[in-house]
Structure 1
Amino acid sequence: MTTVSTATGPLRPRVRFTGLARLSPRAGVVAAALLILIFVMSFALPVITGYGPDQFIGLPYQPPSLAHPFGTDGFGRDVMIRTFTASRVDYLIPLLIVAISVAIGSIVGVAVTLIGGFAEWLMMRITDAIIAFPFLILILALVVVFGQGVDVAFLPNGTIPIIVAVVLTGWAYYARLARSQALSLRGMDYITAARIMGYSTTRIVFRHITPKVLGASVSYAIGDMIVVMGLIASLSLFGAGIAPPTAEWGQMMFEGRSVLGQYWWVTLFPLVFMIISAVSLAAIAERLVARLEGRAR
């Protein structure tokens, strides 16, 4: 997860590609369009070509050609289709994880700030303890307990341990960020007026403070998606990632690691798409930060 700086001090190093994002004021728009294009193609390509991501369509390890621009992998599957299809997992799972973390952390952080006293002190100590715990160990422990065969709704096997572990630790960062934002808001006149009018703490939290806190959290959340995307990919090295045969960039690179010297395309194209996605997300995050800072001035 990435780090933010607040009135209470730095929370964690934030992913920054400032120079890249400032090349053009439209960098964020171009980056968003590129991500949308990749995601749309993940559904369109199988329909256009008539091949599924797990379908054997030719001989193993065929080099890039007109028929198969990204070549085939060790099972004779089309690497281009699998690379685009993998964006469904590598975009949606980080988005789901970050959305849950932001929602829980923001609500908890704002609520304890308004309540104050011992509840606020206790929650901050809990978040400190959670942040200090290495969530990679938690993920591996959950994989050992639940295994990769947990099948829930539309989620691919191996996803649940990752979601649970990252959310259990990730919400704490957003709770601290929300608290720092809420501290500056709770003394505002409109919050004082809401208290005088007898509004409940729940109403003040959800209607008056949380929406403003979420605005500041979104840019950091997009940066966190880069970290979660990299985490999901790297977990394949430990056998704790998304279970095959689901197309996922980390899993695809892991499968091609032993033949990288001969059949480079199996690993290269997933890596390129992952880098493109990470840089695009960073550009979007930077543009949002720039807009928020501009409004603050």
Structure 2
Amino acid sequence: MTAAAIGRTTTGKRWLGGNTTLAIGAALLALFVLMAIAAPWIAPYDPILQNGDVRLMAPSWAHPFGTDNFGRDILSRVMWGARIDLQIAVIGVVFPFLIGTLIGTCAGFFGGIVDIVFMRLIDIILAFPFLVLMLSIIAILGPGLSSFYIAMALVGWVSYARLIRAQMLVVKTSDYAVAATSLGFSRSRIMFRHLLPNAISGSIVFSMSDAVLVLLNGAAISYLGLGIQPPIAEWGVMVAEGQSFITTAWWITLFPGLSIVVLAFGFSLLGDGLGELLGVKE
């Protein structure tokens, strides 16, 4: 066997064996992404079309996931709901990630008064329960996804800032950082081209776990009536709508709730796999 073939075999074993969690997590997420993209073509019914003739119908061949109290097909609503919930998980992480990364990089690199100001701001935010602070912001701005994203951006950046700051304090004393400073590179180049790429892996891994929390928070906000508004198909809204029928029509809450669990499980596995791949220790 040639050296190249041995190398490919070793790499394949490493990915297939050592990163099984990464593969399973990526497969689950890919499944939901494909379902969300293909929902207009593969969903058997209109997700908001009401049909009183089939209301509260148990799972059957015609309606594999059953119907709700308005006669809407649960399977179709779950498929269309994947679009909203994936959007919540992604956008709800991206903006806190970017804001927290920028603030943590500046605080860790410059130190001094910059670090003190940002750390005191973080202490103030952490003094309030996360969900209570989010609900307060959404209540002020009004219900809807835009308010949810703004609340996440204003509150969720704290964890990323603390992670990046801690890593920046370590990497800015490394030999390559000292060498870059000695060569006269600008501060922005040292921060974003030399230090940040070596400090960001932990935040990338954390973002997968954070996506789980964002997904659950989004579902909770919708459940409380402050997120997506009916009749739009969203898993948290579906769970809220089915709670009154939990003993007689269990399928209304079961399938959207199960979808939340499986998607969250996929993000968790992806985060564990990335942590293993990037060498990030818990």
TM-score by length of 2: 0.87
Of 86, 90, 93, the residue aligned with 2:81 is 86
CA change 1:138–1:197 in 2 (3 A) is same
- What residue is the counterpart of 1:38 in the other structure? 32
- Structure in which a larger fraction of residues adopt helix: 2
Aligned 1:1-297 pairs, distance under 5 A: 25-49=19-43, 51-56=45-50, 59-148=54-143, 158-293=144-279
Distance 2:98 2:43 in 1: 39
**Percent identity of paired positions between Structure 1 and Structure 2:** 37
- 3-state SS, counterpart of residue 267 of structure 2: helix
1:200 shift after superposition: 2.0
Distance 1:279 1:110 in 2: 30
Is this contact kept in 1: 2:222–2:237, CA < 8 A?
yes
Distance 2:108 2:83 in 1: 37
CA change 1:245–1:211 in 2 (3 A) is farther
Distance 2:273 2:116 in 1: 34
Instruction: Tell me the matched-pair count.
Output: 264
1:91 shift after superposition: 1.6
TM-score by length of 1: 0.82
Is this contact kept in 2: 1:70–1:79, CA < 8 A?
yes
Question: Which has the higher Rg, Structure 1 or Structure 2?
Answer: 2
CA change 1:142–1:114 in 2 (3 A) is closer
1:50 shift after superposition: 5.6
The code of the aligned residue for 1:180 comes to A
Distance 1:246 1:160 in 2: 15
1:24 shift after superposition: 7.3
1:215 shift after superposition: 1.7
Q: Structure 1 stretches of 5 or more lacking a match?
A: 1-22, 149-157
- What residue is the counterpart of 1:3 in the other structure? none
Is this contact kept in 1: 2:96–2:157, CA < 8 A?
yes
The code of the aligned residue for 2:84 comes to V
1:269 shift after superposition: 0.4
CA change 1:120–1:142 in 2 (3 A) is closer
Is this contact kept in 1: 2:43–2:79, CA < 8 A?
no
Is this contact kept in 1: 2:212–2:267, CA < 8 A?
yes
Of 139-148 and 179-188, the range deviating more from structure 2: 139-148
Is this contact kept in 1: 2:138–2:151, CA < 8 A?
no
